[in-house]
Amino acid sequence: MKKERIEELEENKCVLVVGFDDCILGITETTFGEKATKVAIYDVDDIIAKLMMDNDYTIDEAENFFEYNILSQGYTEQTPHNPIFMHKTIDRYITQPTNEKKTN
């Protein structure tokens, strides 16, 4: 993400995940009460890949680290400047059809 966009997030007191600026997909606005608030949107898959590459983690280790150390760090409605985490693609969650016949 370009430096100007990171500065925009910082100026708006947005919570950023240190060391993962390159995993930011963009910025969006959310509304809490009457005020619109800008927040960073992070790509979970990029974060997992970076954790694996930088720390020599397996995918399970990286996912566990992400869930425990990043995702669960007190992001609530009372803290409207906290980031949004999403996957760029959903194909890892789509069940592929099989040719297996169902038996009763």
pLDDT tens, residue by residue, 22-34: 999 989 888 766 7
User: How far is residue 3's CA from residue 88's CA, in Å, rounded to a whole number?
Assistant: 22
pTM given for the model: 0.76
Task: Identify the pLDDT of residue 31.
Answer: 76
Whether the pLDDT of residue 94 is over 80: the answer is no
Residue 24, strand partner residues: 42
pLDDT band at 62 (very low <50, low <70, confident <90, very high): very high
- How far is the C-alpha of 20 from the C-alpha of 23, rounded, in Å? 5
DSSP H or E stretch at residue 47: helix 44-55
pLDDT value at 98 more than 60: no
| pLDDT band with cut points at 50, 70 and 90 for residue 75 | low
In the chain, DSSP assigns E strands to 24-32, 35-43, 84-86
Is pLDDT at 42 greater than 60 in this prediction? yes
Three-class SS state of 91: helix
